[in-house]
Amino acid sequence: MQKDFISIADLSGEQVRRLIDQAIADKARFRAGELEASLNRRTLAMIFEKPSLRTRVSFETAMTQLGGHAIYLAPADIGLGSREPVIDIARVLGRMCDGVMARTFAHDTVVQLAQHAPVPVINALSDMLHPCQAMADLMTVQEHFGSLEGKTLLFVGDGNNVACSLAMACAKVGMEFILACPEGYPMPAEAVESVRNEGGPDCCTITSDAKTAAERSNILYTDTWVSMGQEDEKQQRIKDFGDFKIDSELLAAAPGDAIVMHCLPAYRGLEITDDVFEAHAETIMNEAENRLHFQRTLLHTLIADGGIG
Ligand code: CP
Ligand code: NVA
């Protein structure tokens, strides 16, 4: 049993597929008013070192829908690592709450929380990974195309936390991942290595030729060029990323039934043009909504079922 949800690398392909199937089934049951409120009187502590719209609202809403409660803990309130060491925060929250969700800068902070809290800990984005996003994304792909295996996802932009989690998720389910990025912005070499160890040498490619990659891609995906914590590099990044965007020209190179995805927040005119965003807004909003559905299933699995089996 997996107590925590820190990285998709920790799960087997079978576990990834089962969680996605379960989330899709639970979504239908929820919409039919048939989903049991399985977390009655349970509490989730939510630690945020960075801003959030989707992650905060979806976790809090999911806890409410399951009959439980969520507490928002801002960094200034708890002083993670300054007022109190991470190890003590983990142990105290473990005595009072039934789960901990954390959005952190250093990936090691969420790892330490998981090590020291006796309750499930969920990575809600670190500088290195964003596994909840990648799971909701594959759920969206499966709902749209009916299957995952054999599909190709082209990520246009920075080899960032979202890219790393998506690449690993793709490898787990037999999808191909391509990153189209400017020189100097690939995924970390260790991330690429572990993805290829999982899915084989051809499952993860890095290129500077987005157009050629788009020709054989089912999904065109992008994220901001400037992640939270990189604000000082903003002007340089905007210069360097220049053309690594999803626009109508790139979309025209892709198969006619290709979809466009974005984890949001989106910066129109930079990584995606307004016309492409609006033409694909239905898919992008389904993707955002699926954060709620996937995480509701994840919370039930970790807290009510006792872990990912
Ligand atoms: N996609 C995502 O995680 O959004 P937030 O940063 O608003 O939570
Ligand atoms: N890569 C982005 C994702 C935001 C959801 C960031 O880390 O800011």
* pLDDT of amino acid 23: 98
Q: Is the CB of 162 under 6 A from ligand 1?
A: no
Q: What is the pLDDT of residues 47-80, one digit of tens each?
A: 999 999 999 999 999 999 999 999 999 988 899 9
Query: β-strands 43-48, 259-262: how paired?
Result: unpaired
* pLDDT of amino acid 93: 98
pLDDT averaged per 10 residues, the chain (length 309): 97 98 98 98 98 98 98 91 95 98 98 98 98 99 98 98 98 98 98 98 98 98 98 98 96 98 98 98 98 98 98
* pLDDT of amino acid 197: 98
Distance CA 146, CA 160 (A): 27
Domain 133-287, classified CATH 3.40.50.1370, yes or no: yes
Question: Options 3.40.50.1370, 3.90.1170.50, 3.40.50.970, 3.30.365.10; which CATH number does 8-130+291-302 get?
Answer: 3.40.50.1370
Cα dihedral sign, 44-299-62-127? positive
C-alpha of residue 170 to centroid of ligand 1, in Å: 20
Ligand approaching nearest to the C-alpha of 234:
2
Instruction: Indicate the residue type of 33.
Output: G
* pLDDT of amino acid 243: 87
181 is catalytic: no
Q: Is the CB of 112 under 6 A from ligand 1?
A: no
Model confidence, pTM = 0.98
C-alpha of residue 230 to centroid of ligand 2, in Å: 10
Q: Is the CB of 194 under 6 A from ligand 2?
A: no
77 is catalytic: no
* pLDDT of amino acid 123: 99
Q: Is the CB of 111 under 6 A from ligand 2?
A: no
Q: Where are the domains of the chain?
A: 8-130+291-302, 133-287
133 is catalytic: yes
Domains 8-130+291-302 and 133-287 share a fold: yes
C-alpha of residue 108 to centroid of ligand 1, in Å: 20
- Exposure class string for 36-71: b at 16+ Cβ within 10 A, else e: eebbeebbbbbbbbbebebbbebbbebbebbebbbe
236 is catalytic: no
Q: Is the CB of 136 under 6 A from ligand 2?
A: no
